[in-house]
Amino acid sequence: MRVGVAADHEGYELKERLWLSLKQPHLVIVDYGAPTLNPNDDYPDFVIPLATSVANGEVERGIAICGSGIGACIAANKVRGVRAGIADNVFSARQGVEDDDMNVICIGARLVNFSLAIELVQCFLNAQFSGKPRHQRRLAKIAQLESPMEMQI
């Protein structure tokens, strides 16, 4: 599985530690930055390229990290085809994939310690979309919002 990771200065240390911990034979990790710790960087500069790669199929899943996870989640969800969610517990990390086909997990480095972050990422990467009709129906409604044609609500 190809997995992308991205973080701003708030998530830089966690990203670097995750990067080392995720090195496994079945995973190819692609780093979208930040390449160095820079207190003046901005999460969209790293999260948008990650999200674009997820949407284009260049990586299967993405891990986006900022201080709270919220900014990274907002930025990632602006890319058509990305379903990003914040996870700070194992249930959300797993259920987000199983029910909502989440393809980018967003983590708040100020809120989650390293051992929990590893557990969240493992749950996220090991989970599979259930494909149940009710979940497909809901995702289809969301996909309509991303279509170029205006949808009346």
3-state secondary structure 43-103: CHHHHHHHHHHHHCCCCCEEEEEECCCHHHHHHHCCCCCCCEEECCCHHHHHHHHHHHCCC
**Catalytic status, residue 66:** yes
**Whether the bond into 34 is cis, omega within 30 of 0:** yes
Set 66, 73, 106, 123: catalytic member: 66
Residues catalogued as catalytic: 66
